Structure 1
Amino acid sequence: MREKLDEKWSPQQIARHLAREHPNNPRMRACPETIYRGLFAGLLGKREGRLRTGRTRRKRQRRGVVSPNKIKNMTLVHDRPATVNDRETPGDWEGDLIIGRAQRSAIGTLVDRTTRFVRLIHLPHGWKAQPMRDALVSQTADLPPALRRTLTWDQGRELVLHEEIEALSGFRIYFCDPHSPWQRGTNENINGLLRQYFPKGTDLTVHSLRNLTAVARQLNDRPRMVLGDRTPSEIMQDWGIASQFP
């Protein structure tokens, strides 16, 4: 395990590798949680630089804790149309925020579930409810209506004006259960890739809208294994809509 961590493998990748290498020997396998615990306990060598996120200590877990200030009139992900899970057509997005140093800056991240096409939302005025509403609506207005069907988000207070966002943008917004990032796993994966460009603990206000557009374009032109080594831009082009927006 130490060697794989040195080679920048994630605990999830290591766990899958061990399962393939030792299919008949459970004692030679470990789940991702066990690997994380061993790493943070110092049982797998130095912690610094071993994880892609850069973390050296365990994040506090809040499972089972009721979140205060619940957003009103939420529609949960369980009520999302079944067609969203099929990933057959573009237009169903997952969204989140990447937070900068001292929680003083942020970038909005959107990814289409079918094509893995990325849009980055510039938030020069912060990400409280009103600036977030205005940025989401204005910076997705160039998307064809067919690409603005659903948007899945966590229960962050930045989307407390979700009903106004729906009315102004055409998106139907669905919220994940508390502390359930796997319910928007496509976005979680993209956020991990974006940390190459926007490291944790840095000031994100230095990035202009032009910078964000350039980063998104680079990701959208990168082959993805899940797409059969095609790019998100190519998949969008198959639908005849990639050329209609940046």
Structure 2
Amino acid sequence: MTDVLWLGGPPGAGKSTVAERLARRYGLRRYHADTRTWAHRDRALAERIPAAERFERLSPADRWAAPVDELYAMALHHERGPMVVDDVRSLPPAPLTIAEGTVVTPRVARALPGRAALWLLPTPELLEERLAQRELCPGPLALYRRVAEVVEDEVRASGAPFLSVDGDTDIVRAVEDRWARQLAAGPHAAGLEERRALLREANEAVVAQYNGFFARPWAPDGRDTAVAAFSCGCGDTACTDRVERRIAAFDQAGP
């Protein structure tokens, strides 16, 4: 399966927003690597990857107190790349998939050549602004900065295509313009019901991500009250709404 558009970049680059808007607008399947984090960690544990085993052994407090090099190793940035390839390869061939995530690297895109690939690289000023908006503790902040540095170095060293993101440009429109031919070619969702099904699929991946987190032996209680932002499931190609809903209530709710 090679009908995929790859979209990568560091945290805070706007990947998720771009992917969601374009997937809605064109009736595409959206693969968000972040929603596979815990599934990938379970796979890494099954493969006895030492950094994954150490991550699970440590308490959250001890984990985030580790040096940034150790945090980066435990993030499994490189190990998750082949897992993303396996995930995307297993998806149906239609409609066209837009696959995005920080672990989508030039090496990932080469392993499963798709229709196009693009990376969003925020300016240093914008990166710091967006990380500040997340109100991160020192450990996660140091990790995100390191990941951003690694991603940009990988993209520039490989000569991969990228867009510089400064916060002023309409990045959704910029990516849409860059991929105009590929987006127009499709294949797209056949109609309203398929568009709704694709949105439901993306929302179910969010639920699976939360379930994977709360299944960890060190995770706090809170699944019954946890709230997430979901894509509105109306299927309107112009809709950009996000809907907050309790994870535990998702299965009982309609679109």
Query: What is the TM-score when the length of structure 1 is the normalising length?
Result: 0.26
The structure carrying a bigger helix percent of its residues is 2
* Structure ranking higher on relative contact order (CA contacts 8 Å, 6+ apart): 2
Q: Which has the larger radius of gyration?
A: 1
Query: What is the TM-score when the length of structure 2 is the normalising length?
Result: 0.25
